[in-house]
Structure 1
Amino acid sequence: MTWTIAGSLAVVPAPTRTDLLAEPVAKALAALADPDAVGVAEIDPSLADTAAFCEAYGSPLEASANCVVVAGKRAGEVRFAAALVLATTRADVNGVIKRRLDVRKASFAPMDEAVSLTGMEYGGITPVGLPAEWPILLDRRVAEAPELVIGSGIRGSKLLISGAALAALPGAEVIEDLAR
């Protein structure tokens, strides 16, 4: 597959380089209908943050999507979700996400907790391979994107994937105006 958003990245089918994926990501990719339609590219881990990544590799910022882990409490129960929004937008944590989780207050999950629960590195957390009980909330613009760059579960690589493939993930929900 040819990725128009790859910039200077050397992209290969993700199943051929599982060493560039966190373990839960590799397992989830293997279960996809067409795992070869997902690309992976090795990057410098110090350039994993979106702005630095885009500048260094020439990938357009508007083709990057960021995954955030959100937590909220209701009746003593902590509820988690992942939200995926374009890098040019911000997730509406205390509006749309709070209402979807049905909690009083929603906030970003603490880093150590997010890392522990996902089995992924901070700065590389991705919606692919998250705990099955978590909803994956996708902004409509993410779901409609033909090509996106997202985390791979580690800071040393990025996944290239279509919005349609993300919308087809188990637990995925496409939400209008998830991001502002």
Structure 2
Amino acid sequence: MTEVRMRVNGVVESLDIEPWVSLLDALRDHLGLTGPKKGCDQGACGACTVLADGVRINACLALAMQYADKEITTIEGIAKDGEGRHPLQEAFVRHDGLQCGYCTSGQICSAIAMLDEHAAGMPSVLTPSVQPASAVLSDDEIRERMSGNLCRCGAYNGILDAIRDVAGRETVS
């Protein structure tokens, strides 16, 4: 067993775990955080997406030990204290961006990081050169940047509408 200390949703946690325990299993089985889901357990579906120091990662592919002394944020920790739900959670509800809900926590965590990446001017396949933060986030750009998150129910139109809403866009491009 190895002791791993990390900050999870603002709380310092100390876990005694085997070195091969994934971050996803540490969060779910050792800390009782059931928001991140074990979908494919291969990094292909995005249901396990969490934020590590603000960057989205597939928790099923990460060893918990890799994230010692890091800030891990799950869906349970994205709302600020006393604020209720995060704006993306509200938008997902408002725009029917969820059906069964299995992928929703990963979708929302990924969308939070994706909006931050775009605002910081990080490139993507569609925008290989860094663009100014004021550049419009097109529907195709949203789809590309969210392509690592799958929804078996097919709630993609609602997910796109929710992200577009939070990004401050009204119309489809």
- Band the TM-score falls in, shorter-chain normalisation: under 0.3
Structure holding more strand per residue = 1
Q: Which has the larger radius of gyration?
A: 2
Taking structure 1 as the reference length, what is the TM-score of the superposition? 0.26
Taking structure 2 as the reference length, what is the TM-score of the superposition? 0.27
Greater RCO (Cα-Cα under 8 Å, separation 6 or more): 1
